[in-house]
């Protein structure tokens, strides 16, 4: 479903070229719970951004459901992200002027889901994540863990095919991080949502069904749960 | 419907815009205060100017012009006693009485000379109907000494400045001479029956009013008159034009039937020019305002780069981002405009008793400007600042909106 074909990504900063990804090829199938692991600068976030259509490769192809993302306009990419992808970022994921429930509703609002239906689904999802009492709180009134759970709720409430999570546990204590991973694994098992993480958190790597290890913009190992 | 239009109609866009605008209450408050005070001042200045111009027009109508005047052919070009209206015409107009008509009065108008032992001054000699004239002008209220005219009393009313120059007081005698309908010079002595003080320099300085019958007699006009002055039921220009048109349709074509703005085109020109230049004044204020608003929104965009990146990452299309920024601009501008209009209207209400300019009365009256100006703001003219405000909001929102849509989501989400 997600595929990188011979992708190169070069950042040019004032004449100095940085090769973030070099000849990267990777395929993520439906229903996987995959981690991109590696040290800082290995290309994890760059690859996630390319899969999410947030950035363009310098060369090579990124395909989502066999569609080349390079052929899409900005508006079409936004539509793809809206319909097929969910994002969870490291921190400060939420829109500060919206309450928890409004943040979760927002993607469905963009999708054109009727008001009553999106309110029902958003409150249901927040309740499922143990945030039923906090629906009317703004992000600044929530703890880091609560904010990340709201972000996960927003990412999955519209039932995307894939959730791309960039170091989602980086700012969380181990208990909160564990709870969040439990939740994502449940979503993966019960709803078949594909998860692709970037992380160097051993706790996340331990739980992954597949770990793709990156170094200097290349895949250095691709391990499944049995081989881990 | 495209994404932009859908977003503008979505309540969530406006909810977010409202909350974003008030995220930094101090900054928003300062901008609103600046817009409010600036626009409020302009609105008040406009109201004072409108008040002055409308009062000039009103004064001209109430002391001399009426709403419509009827003259014989050629009177406008070369006024004189040889161009007269028959008595039958006066009766005909009164009998016809179009629905817009409130009152009529006939006058005889001639050039003459007022003489006393202290000197001679060329004057406009106006013979008026003492009973009907108060229905069309406020001259009777302008009496500062003596009393109003009787039907034919050989008494005259003179302007205050004329009285001063000829050293006349009530009861004293002046001789009025003029050319009659046959071209012969005629003169008659009158007692000063009263002294008038108005906001009109020509009336105060160079006018002598006598009774209509006295005027007709000394000028040899029998029942004829120089002009018929008509007043409509309201000051509404549509009604005044309707009255004029109805009279033109019923009366012989050669007669001159003219509304006040045709009799004194300069007055109408002043009103028109002021209305046109109001656009320029408002536009100048709003251009300055646009930079302030664009600056605030631009700062707000720079502060929210990560947030906008996340919005784009989760599927917000460029059209929606533009709609969000324009909504913020509209809210900011329209709030400022509302504050400005409220302040301006409060100022107008506070000055509803008028601004006393009598210190400069001498100079103002010579231009036909009243010495007490009551600010006036026609409600339909408020459409001008509101329209320009909406344009300003859209224009000043475009710049920050373009910045926002150029944000690269992958870079923005890393932005702290």
Token pair 């793809």: residue = A80
Q: Using the beta-carbon criterion (under 8 Å), do A54 and B408 form an inter-chain contact?
A: yes
In a domain, B116, yes or no: yes
Residue A13 has pLDDT above 80, yes or no: no
Provide the b/e sequence for B60-99 (b: ≥16 CB within 10 Å).
Answer: bbbbbbbbbbbbbeebeeebebebbbeeebbeebeeeebe
Which letter does DSSP use for residue A180 in this model? Answer: H
pLDDT at res. B368:
65
pLDDT tier at B366, thresholds 50, 70, 90: low
Q: How far is CA B412 from the centre of its chain?
A: 55
Is the domain of B284 the same as that of B381? yes
The last residue of one of the domains, among B200, B222, B254, is B254
In a domain, B203, yes or no: yes
In a domain, B262, yes or no: no
Distance in Å, alpha carbon of B28 to nearest chain A alpha carbon: 16
Number of domains in chain B: 2
Distance in Å, alpha carbon of A43 to nearest chain B alpha carbon: 13
Which residue of A55, A78, A115 to mutate against B (max B Cβ within 10 Å)? Answer: A78
Average pLDDT over residues B336-365: 84
The radius of gyration of chain B from alpha carbons, rounded to an integer in Å, stands at 31
For chain B, the first-to-last Cα distance in angstroms comes to 35
- Asked if the C-beta of B311 comes within 8 angstroms of chain A's C-beta atoms, the answer is yes
Closest C-alpha among B13, B23, B8, B95 to residue B301? B23
**Residue A6 tokens, joined:** 């011979």
pLDDT tier at A150, thresholds 50, 70, 90: very high
Domain span including residue B96? 73-254
Provide the b/e sequence for A50-74 (b: ≥16 CB within 10 Å).
Answer: bbbbbbbbeebbbbbeeeebeebee
pLDDT at res. A214:
95
Residue A176 φ/ψ region, left for φ over 0, alpha for ψ in the -120 to 50 degree band, beta for the rest? alpha
The last residue of one of the domains, among B196, B224, B254, is B254
Distance in Å, alpha carbon of A115 to nearest chain B alpha carbon: 11
pLDDT at res. B361:
63
pLDDT at res. A225:
65
pLDDT tier at B357, thresholds 50, 70, 90: confident
SS3 A20: strand
Q: Using the beta-carbon criterion (under 8 Å), do B23 and A97 form an inter-chain contact?
A: yes
Which residues of chain B does A85 touch, with a Cβ-Cβ cutoff of 8 Å?
315
Q: Please state, in angstroms and rounded to a whole number, the distance separating the CA atoms of residues A215 and A37.
A: 9
pLDDT at res. A198:
93
Give the ipTM. Answer: 0.89
* A126 Cβ neighbours under 8 A, 6+ residues apart: A100, A101, A104, A132, A134, A135, A150, A153
**Residue B248 tokens, joined:** 């033109």
Which residues of chain B does A87 touch, with a Cβ-Cβ cutoff of 8 Å?
310, 313-314
Average pLDDT over residues B53-62: 87
> What percentage of chain A exceeds 90 in pLDDT?
68
Which letter does DSSP use for residue A34 in this model? Answer: E
| pTM for the whole structure | 0.75
Q: Please state, in angstroms and rounded to a whole number, the distance separating the CA atoms of residues A135 and A150.
A: 9
Is the domain of B55 the same as that of B113? no
Is the domain of B245 the same as that of B273? no
Q: Tens digits of per-residue pLDDT, B268-317? A: 898 888 888 888 888 888 888 888 888 888 999 999 998 999 999 999 99
Average pLDDT over residues A143-172: 89
Average pLDDT over residues A179-202: 89
Task: Report the 10 Å Cβ neighbour count for A119.
Answer: 17
Q: Please state, in angstroms and rounded to a whole number, the distance separating the CA atoms of residues A16 and B29.
A: 45
B106 in Cβ contact with B92 (< 8 Å) = no
pLDDT tier at B256, thresholds 50, 70, 90: very high
Query: What chain A residue is nearest to B7 in terms of C-alpha separation?
Result: A110
Is the domain of B408 the same as that of B322? yes
In a domain, B263, yes or no: no
Cα angle vertex B214, ends B213, B218, to 5°? 115
**How many Cβ pairs within 8 Å bridge chains A and B?**
76
Distance in Å, alpha carbon of A221 to nearest chain B alpha carbon: 26
Distance in Å, alpha carbon of A176 to nearest chain B alpha carbon: 23
Is the domain of B273 the same as that of B250? no
pLDDT at res. B386:
83
Which residues of chain A does B313 touch, with a Cβ-Cβ cutoff of 8 Å?
52, 54, 81, 87, 89
Nearest CB to B12 within list A75, A109, A154: A109
Task: Report the 10 Å Cβ neighbour count for B319.
Answer: 18
Distance in Å, alpha carbon of A65 to nearest chain B alpha carbon: 17
Q: Strands (DSSP E) along chain A, which ranges? A: 2-13, 16-28, 33-37, 59-64, 67-68, 85-88, 162-166, 194-199, 210-215, 218-224
Is the domain of B178 the same as that of B308? no
pLDDT at res. B69:
95
In a domain, B68, yes or no: no
Residue A227 has pLDDT above 60, yes or no: no
In a domain, B19, yes or no: yes
Q: Tens digits of per-residue pLDDT, B309-338? A: 999 999 999 999 999 999 999 999 889 889
Cα angle vertex B175, ends B173, B181, to 5°? 145
Q: Which residues partner with A215 through β-bridges? A: A218
Q: Tens digits of per-residue pLDDT, B148-204? A: 998 767 899 999 999 999 999 999 999 999 999 999 999 999 999 999 998 788 889
Q: Using the beta-carbon criterion (under 8 Å), do A89 and B408 form an inter-chain contact?
A: no
A65 in Cβ contact with A218 (< 8 Å) = no
Q: Tens digits of per-residue pLDDT, B395-415? A: 888 989 999 988 888 888 776
In a domain, B66, yes or no: no
Is the domain of B109 the same as that of B240? yes
The last residue of one of the domains, among B254, B281, B300, is B254
pLDDT at res. B261:
93
- Asked if the C-beta of B10 comes within 8 angstroms of chain A's C-beta atoms, the answer is yes
Distance in Å, alpha carbon of B101 to nearest chain A alpha carbon: 60
Q: Please state, in angstroms and rounded to a whole number, the distance separating the CA atoms of residues B226 and B70.
A: 9
Is the domain of B92 the same as that of B241? yes
- Between B172 and A226, the more confident residue is B172
* B326 Cβ neighbours under 8 A, 6+ residues apart: B8, B393, B394, B397, B398, B401
Q: Using the beta-carbon criterion (under 8 Å), do A95 and B311 form an inter-chain contact?
A: yes
B positions 314-343 inside 8 Å of A (CB): 314-320
Residue B143 has pLDDT above 90, yes or no: yes
Residue B358 has pLDDT above 80, yes or no: no
Average pLDDT over residues B254-280: 89
pLDDT at res. B387:
85
In a domain, B50, yes or no: yes
pLDDT at res. B415:
65
pLDDT at res. A177:
84
Q: Please state, in angstroms and rounded to a whole number, the distance separating the CA atoms of residues B165 and B389.
A: 54
Q: Please state, in angstroms and rounded to a whole number, the distance separating the CA atoms of residues A47 and A36.
A: 9
Is the domain of B242 the same as that of B181? yes
Is the domain of B237 the same as that of B345? no
pLDDT at res. B274:
86
Helix (H) or strand (E) holding A1: none
User: Residue A119 — φ and ψ, nearest 5°?
Assistant: -65, -40
Q: Please state, in angstroms and rounded to a whole number, the distance separating the CA atoms of residues A51 and A67.
A: 12
**Residue B106 tokens, joined:** 């006939």
Which residue of B306, B315, B406, B413 to mutate against A (max A Cβ within 10 Å)? Answer: B315
pLDDT at res. B152:
66
Residue A173 has pLDDT above 90, yes or no: no
Chain A positions touching chain B (beta carbons under 8 Å): 45, 49, 52, 54-55, 74-75, 78-79, 81-83, 85-87, 89, 92-98, 102, 106-107, 109-111, 154-155, 166
SS3 A100: helix
B312 in Cβ contact with B32 (< 8 Å) = no
Query: What chain B residue is nearest to A96 in terms of C-alpha separation?
Result: B307
**Residue A44 tokens, joined:** 């994890």
pLDDT at res. B365:
63
Is the domain of B353 the same as that of B394? yes
Which residues of chain A does B8 touch, with a Cβ-Cβ cutoff of 8 Å?
none
Average pLDDT over residues A102-112: 93
Q: Please state, in angstroms and rounded to a whole number, the distance separating the CA atoms of residues A177 and B108.
A: 102
Query: What chain A residue is nearest to B309 in terms of C-alpha separation?
Result: A54
B47 in Cβ contact with B349 (< 8 Å) = no
Q: What is the 3-state secondary structure (H, E, C) of chain B?
A: CCHHHHHHHCHHHHHHHHHHHCCCHHHHHHHHHHHHHHHHHHHHHHHHHHHHHHHHHHHHHHHHHCCEEEECCCCCCCCCCCCCECHHHHHHHHHHCCCCEEEEEEEEEEEEEEEECCEEEEEEEEEECCCCHHHHCCHHHHEEEECCCCCCCCEEEEEHHHHHHCCCCCCCEEEEEEECCCCCEEEEEEEEEEEECCCCHHHHHHEEEEEHHHHHHHHCCCCCECEEEEEECCCCHHHHHHHHHHHHHHCCCCCEEEEHHHHCHHHHHHHHHHHHHHHHHHHHHHHHHHHHHHHHHHHHHHHCHHHHHHHHHCCCCHHHHHHHHHHHHHHHHHHHHHHHHHHHHHHHHHCCCCEECHHHHHHHHHCCCCCEECCCCCHHHHHHHHHHHHHHHHHHHHHHHHHHHCCCHHHHCCCC
Is the domain of B177 the same as that of B99? yes
pLDDT at res. A168:
86
Q: Tens digits of per-residue pLDDT, A23-79? A: 999 999 999 999 999 998 899 999 999 999 999 999 999 999 989 999 999 899 999
């Amino acid at each position: 479903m997600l595929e990188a074909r011979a992708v190169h990504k070069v950042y040019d900063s004032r004449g100095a070229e940085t090769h973030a990804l070099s000849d990267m090829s990777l395929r993520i199938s439906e229903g996987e719970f995959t981690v991109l692991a590696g040290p800082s600068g290995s290309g994890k976030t760059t690859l996630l951004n390319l899969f999410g259509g947030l950035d363009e490769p310098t060369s090579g192809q990124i395909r989502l459901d066999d569609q080349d993302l390079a052929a899409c306009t900005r508006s079409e990419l936004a539509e793809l992200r809206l319909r097929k992808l969910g994002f969870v970022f490291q921190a400060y994921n939420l829109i500060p002027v919206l309450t928890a429930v409004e943040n979760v509703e927002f993607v469905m609002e963009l999708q054109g889901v009727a008001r009553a239906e999106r309110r029902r689904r958003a409150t249901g999802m927040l309740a499922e994540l143990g945030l039923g009492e906090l629906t009317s709180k703004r992000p600044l009134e929530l703890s880091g863990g609560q904010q990340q759970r709201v972000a996960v709720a927003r990412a999955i409430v519209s039932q995307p095919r894939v959730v791309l999570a960039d170091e989602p546990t980086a700012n969380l204590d181990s208990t909160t991080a564990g709870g969040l991973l439990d939740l994502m694994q449940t979503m993966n098992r019960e709803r078949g949502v594909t998860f692709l993480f970037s992380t160097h958190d051993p706790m996340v790597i331990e739980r992954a069904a597949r770990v793709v290890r990156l170094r200097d913009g290349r895949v250095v190992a691709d391990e499944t749960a049995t081989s881990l | 419907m495209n994404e932009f239009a859908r977003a503008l109609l979505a309540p969530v866009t406006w909810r977010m815009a409202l909350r974003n605008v008030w995220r930094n209450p101090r900054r928003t408050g300062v901008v609103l205060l600046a817009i409010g005070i600036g626009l409020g001042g302009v609105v008040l200045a406009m109201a004072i100017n409108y008040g002055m111009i409308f009062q000039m027009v009103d004064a001209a109508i109430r002391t001399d012009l009426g709403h419509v005047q009827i003259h014989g052919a050629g009177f406008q070009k070369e006024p004189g006693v040889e161009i007269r209206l028959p008595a039958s015409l006066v009766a005909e107009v009164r009998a016809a009485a179009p629905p817009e008509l409130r009152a009529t009065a006939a006058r005889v108008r001639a050039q003459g000379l007022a003489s006393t032992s202290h000197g001679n001054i060329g004057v406009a000699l106006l013979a008026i109907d003492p009973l009907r004239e108060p229905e069309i002008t406020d001259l009777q209220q302008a009496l500062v000494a003596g009393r109003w005219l009787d039907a034919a009393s050989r008494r005259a009313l003179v302007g205050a400045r004329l009285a001063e120059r000829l050293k006349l007081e009530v009861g004293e005698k002046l001789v009025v001479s003029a050319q009659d309908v046959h071209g012969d010079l005629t003169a008659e002595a009158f007692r000063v029956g009263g002294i008038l003080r108005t906001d009109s320099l020509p009336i105060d300085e160079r006018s002598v009013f006598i009774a209509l019958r006295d005027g007709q007699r000394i000028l040899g006009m029998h029942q004829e008159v120089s002009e018929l002055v008509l007043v409509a039921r309201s000051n509404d220009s549509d009604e005044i034009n309707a009255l004029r048109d109805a009279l033109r349709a019923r009366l012989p074509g050669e007669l001159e039937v003219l509304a006040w703005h045709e009799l004194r085109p300069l007055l109408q020109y002043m009103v028109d020019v002021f209305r046109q230049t109001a656009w320029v004044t408002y536009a100048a204020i709003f251009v300055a305002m646009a930079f302030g608003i664009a600056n605030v929104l631009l700062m707000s965009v720079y502060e929210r780069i990560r947030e906008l990146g996340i919005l784009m990452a989760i599927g917000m299309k460029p059209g929606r981002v533009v709609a969000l920024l324009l909504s913020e601009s509209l809210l900011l501008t329209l709030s400022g405009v509302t504050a400005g209009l409220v302040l301006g209207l409060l100022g107008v209400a506070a000055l509803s008793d008028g601004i006393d300019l009598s210190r400069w009365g001498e100079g103002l009256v010579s231009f036909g400007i009243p010495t007490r100006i009551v600010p006036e703001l026609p409600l339909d003219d408020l459409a001008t600042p509101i329209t320009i405000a909406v344009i300003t909001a859209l224009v000043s929102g475009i710049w920050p909106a373009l910045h926002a849509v150029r944000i690269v989501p992958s870079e923005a989400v890393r932005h702290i």
